């Protein structure tokens, strides 16, 4: 690892490591149908992923053109969504093309890497288990693992510590990879180098995230990190 500038790399999950849109769409539409709300399209669901399931559902109801629902009704629909999602968590979800090769390259250099997601930890672990990725990760931090979630930098700082580093001293030796402002803002606030994935689920144009770099395919990740160091 002498010629590689990063000891630790953190990844968002949905829209970064794994393409989960189809399974999240199915679960969301299942919940919407139970309330007689029109279904969303794949393109629509991709604009509301990143802030956790409750936010995704709330924004999805708005996108469907339905009136806002009460907190109690939203909580009930969320239970319906999550039950469907847990039973069908990896029907269509797969790592993005090039992901596994990039992880192999990081392994070969002794880099420790982890997932920091706003998905609840239980569901993150179920998904990563189903895809055979859990054993490769130094840690998994979900949206409910800590008292805060992304974009709070404590999430990324905790990841660094769990990977064996010092959250302050090793921030410069850490990169954080994601596809939303939740990810890039958290990584930046923690003092890490940030990389945005243009192929992810964008709530806004990728250039407006102001990441240190942008990749269009996972094949670009390791070479880009080398140049950023």
Residue 197's alpha-carbon distances to 9, 169, 183, in angstroms, are 14, 26, 10
Cβ proximity of 216 and 179 under 8 Å: no
Number of domains forming the structure of the chain: 2
Q: Are residues 102 and 194 in the same domain?
A: yes
Report how far residue 206's alpha carbon sits from residue 203's, in angstroms, rounded to the nearest whole number. Answer: 9
**pTM of the full predicted structure?**
0.94
Residue 1: inside a domain, yes or no?
A: no
Report how far residue 68's alpha carbon sits from residue 135's, in angstroms, rounded to the nearest whole number. Answer: 41
pLDDT in tens, 207-228: 999 999 999 999 999 999 999 9
Residue 149: inside a domain, yes or no?
A: yes
Q: Are residues 26 and 120 in the same domain?
A: no
Residue 2: inside a domain, yes or no?
A: no
Q: What is the pLDDT at residue 58? A: 97
CATH code, 36: 1.10.150.240
Q: What is the pLDDT at residue 204? A: 87
Q: What is the pLDDT at residue 2? A: 60
Q: Are residues 99 and 203 in the same domain?
A: yes
Q: What is the pLDDT at residue 202? A: 82
Residue 3: inside a domain, yes or no?
A: no
Residue 77: inside a domain, yes or no?
A: yes
* Strand, coil or helix: 140: strand
Helix (H), strand (E), coil (C) string for 90-113 = CCCCEECCCHHHHHHHHHHCCCEE
Structural domain harbouring 180: 8-19+93-228
Structure tokens at 77: 């629909």
Q: Are residues 173 and 160 in the same domain?
A: yes
Q: Are residues 136 and 29 in the same domain?
A: no
Active site residue 107: no
Structure tokens at 166: 């010092």
Number of H helices, E strands in the chain: 9, 8
Tens-level pLDDT at each residue, the chain (229 residues): 568 999 999 999 999 999 999 999 999 999 999 999 999 999 999 999 999 999 999 999 999 999 999 999 999 999 999 999 999 999 999 999 999 999 999 999 999 999 999 999 999 999 999 999 999 999 999 999 999 999 999 999 999 999 999 999 999 999 999 999 999 999 999 999 999 999 999 888 999 999 999 999 999 999 999 999 8
Q: Are residues 76 and 181 in the same domain?
A: no
Q: Are residues 149 and 203 in the same domain?
A: yes
Q: In the listed set 87, 107, 138, which residue is the last one of a domain according to the structure?
A: 87
Q: Which of 3, 12, 14, 107 is catalytic?
A: 12
């Amino acid at each position: 690892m002498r010629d590689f500038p990063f000891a630790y790399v953190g990844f968002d999950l949905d829209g970064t490591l794994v393409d989960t849109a189809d399974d999240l769409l199915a679960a969301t539409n299942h919940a919407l149908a139970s309330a007689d709300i029109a279904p969303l399209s794949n393109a629509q669901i991709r604009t509301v992923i990143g802030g956790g399931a409750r936010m995704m559902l709330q924004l999805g109801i708005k996108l469907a053109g339905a009136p806002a629902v009460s907190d109690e009704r939203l909580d009930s629909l969320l239970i319906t969504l999550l039950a469907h999602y847990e039973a069908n968590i990896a029907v269509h979800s797969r790592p993005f093309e090039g992901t596994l090769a990039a992880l192999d390259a990081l392994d070969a250099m002794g880099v420790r890497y982890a997932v920091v997601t706003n998905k609840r930890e239980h569901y993150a672990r179920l998904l990563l288990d189903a895809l055979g990725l859990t054993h490769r990760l130094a840690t998994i931090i979900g949206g409910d693992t800590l008292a805060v979630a992304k974009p709070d930098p404590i999430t990324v700082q905790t990841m660094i510590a769990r990977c064996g580093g010092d959250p302050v001293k090793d921030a410069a030796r850490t990169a954080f990879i994601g596809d939303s402002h939740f990810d890039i803002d958290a990584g930046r606030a923690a003092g890490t180098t940030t990389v945005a994935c243009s192929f992810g689920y964008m709530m806004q144009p990728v250039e407006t995230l102001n990441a240190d770099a942008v990749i269009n395919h996972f094949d670009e990740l390791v070479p880009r990190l080398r140049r950023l160091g």
